[in-house]
Chain A
Amino acid sequence: MNADEKERYLNEAMDRHGDYLKQLIYTYVKDLQKTEDIIQDVFIKFYKSLDRFEGRSSIKTYLYRIAVNECKNYFKSWHYRKLEIAEKINLWKNRESLEAEYIQKEQNQTIAELVNKLPVKYREVIWLFYYVELSVSEIAEVVNCSANTVKTRLSRGRQLARISIEESEGVYEYQK
């Protein structure tokens, strides 16, 4: 691929996917400055790897995959990892209902607030499916797992966020 072609791909990628990518990155890192740093790194990596892009996936999923990996690399960095902040917990935890911690809500919490409190693996598939509107197979490519795993995580994520979906009508009912 010559420089002109790569530049064309880059410009098209930034115009078409830049906004959604930036928003998705924000849902991972929740910091505007870091989001801006990462989105730049994503497109630079994208550009530099275009020669190796063999067209096995679409440009869209390829880009999103780079973005998700960059976010996860950030999670592994010193600046993000090392301290666990927790409220003082009296250790009578029922281990089976650990995930139930995420279902402690006040009555007026929105779907988004519930989703954004989910563990990353559930949160990311919900965002990729409902917001970015990727298909299950595309999400599987982006997060590097099987389609069945994506479906399981979507189902579990919806359950944790108390979403029940009327798929045919495209509306949802929020369980209070």
Chain B
Amino acid sequence: MNIKNDLEKSIPANLKMTESEKTEIRYRIQHSNEPKRHFKPAFVAVLFVMILGVLLLPAIQSIRTSETVITAAGKPITDEQKLLYYEKYKEIIQQANGQKTGVFLEVPPMESFQDSDWQTPEQYQAFVAGILEDHLATERKKVAAASSNLKGAITNENGETTKGTFIYFSDILKEIEVTAKFDTQYSKEADRQLFAGIENVTTNLVYVNRGTWEQTSYKASLSENGEKYSIEIEGIFTLNNISYEKAFTLEFSCDKAGKIY
């Protein structure tokens, strides 16, 4: 094993230039070099636009003096507009931050914005939603990918069931175990065991030599007619004097015989 091989494994397999890409490049170069031969139609079109412009000029001028035109990204906007936009950006970010515990979005200082960076609030909102969704999708993907290595739920002689999952911070995946004591009860109606209660929910990191975890709260909700408990856990992970707030959810299910998984 050498570094080159290891690096290679981190990029998509078969990431190579295809013949069609090469053809596309040659095509684009060729067509950017081709002389423009279509003079007559272009000339006529330009003449038409000029005539139209001359006829419409008085009308255009009266519109422009009466309002400020808000343009799309890349076009300059007034300083007043920038201040308004920036306040809107902050509101949008505040709302986005409220959507998930532990995710913190921040608008960079206004002075760092270039002219081309200014977007309408609607565009900014869509952009933020995309960023947040990408981040959450990355989290889901990383946790899902790592979760195939997890062992299943184990119940000990004290009736406590432990199950593992991963929690994700910026580029860090930590394996964490959730332990809870469940009660199950036979339901005549459903003709099976169902959850009847839960207590003593605790959480612990699997690898304790790198960082600490402190659970701050949990909330358990029963669903699927008593077949499933969703436990939402909040806590603080600390490593190298940096702390991260985190919330995650783990589900426990109960099979017909009362076995918890």
Which chain B positions have C-beta within 8 A of A92? 241-243
A1 within 8 A of B: no
- Chain A residue nearest to B74 (CB atoms) is A78
Name the distance in Å between B35's Cβ and chain A's nearest Cβ: 13
A53 touches B (CB below 8 Å): no
Distance from B111 Cβ to chain A, minimum over Cβ atoms (Å) = 14
Cα-based distance from A56 to B182 in the complex (angstroms): 73
Measured between C-beta atoms, what is the minimum distance from B124 to chain A in Å? 8
Inter-chain CA distance A14–B22, complex, in Å, is 7
Given contacts A89-B243, A104-B240, A107-B207, contact A14 B104 (CB under 8 A): no
**Which of these binds chain A: B171-179, B218-226, B250-258?**
B171-179
A8 within 8 A of B: no
The residue in chain A whose Cβ has the minimal distance to the Cβ of B33 is A3
Name the B residues within 8 Å of A130 (CB-CB).
Answer: 3-4, 7
Q: How far is the CA of A105 from the CA of B165 in the complex (A)?
A: 17
Closest A residue, CB atoms, query B245? A88
A106 to B169, CA, bound (A): 12
Smallest Cβ distance from B90 to chain A, in angstroms? 12
B83 at the interface (CB under 8 A from A): no
Chain B residues with CB under 8 A of A110:
6, 9-10
Interface check A116, CB cutoff 8 A = yes
Question: Would you call B54 an interface residue if the criterion is a C-beta within 8 Å of the partner chain's C-beta atoms?
Answer: no
Partner of B25, one of A44, A86, A105, A113: A44
Interface size on B (CB < 8 Å)?
Answer: 60
Closest A residue by C-beta to B238: A90
Q: Quick one: which of A117-176 are within 8 Å of B by CB?
A: 117, 126-127, 130-131, 133, 163, 170-172
Main secondary structure of the interface of B (DSSP, over half): mixed
Identify which of B6, B12, B25, B238 contacts A43 (C-beta below 8 A): B25
For B16, list chain A residues within 8 Å (CB): 18-19, 22
Does B7 contact A115, Cβ atoms closer than 8 Å? yes
A-chain residues with CB within 8 Å of residue B107 when the two chains form the complex:
82-83
Query: In this assembly, does B8 line the interface, its C-beta being within 8 Å of a C-beta of chain A?
Result: yes
A interface footprint on B1-20 (CB within 8 Å = 1, 0 otherwise): 11110111111100111000
In the complex, whether A23 has a CB less than 8 A from a CB of chain B is yes
Residues of A within 8 A of B24 (CB): 40
- The answer to whether B217 has its CB under 8 Å from any CB of chain A is no
Cα A131 to Cα B239 in complex, Å, equals 32
Asked if residues B207 and A106 are in contact (CB atoms below 8 Å), the reply is: yes
Q: Does B170 contact A (CB under 8 A)?
A: yes
Given A78-B119, A100-B240, A117-B171, are A89 and B25 also a contact pair (CB < 8 Å)? Answer: no
Contact assessment for A171 and B2 in the assembled complex, using a CB-CB cutoff below 8 Å: yes
| Complex Cα gap A115–B9 (Å) | 12
A57 to B135, CA, bound (A): 40
Residues of A within 8 A of B211 (CB): 104
Some 23 contacts from A to B, beta carbons below 8 A apart, are A3-B33, A7-B26, A19-B17, A26-B12, A26-B15, A27-B11, A36-B21, A40-B28, A44-B29, A78-B119, A83-B128, A83-B131, A85-B103, A89-B104, A104-B211, A106-B173, A106-B174, A106-B175, A107-B207, A110-B6, A111-B7, A112-B10, A127-B7
- Residues in A lying within 8 Å of B, measured CB to CB: 3, 7, 10-11, 14, 18-19, 21-23, 26-27, 32, 35-36, 39-40, 43-44, 47-48, 78, 81-90, 92-94, 97, 100-101, 104-107, 110-113, 115-117, 126-127, 130-131, 133, 163, 170-172
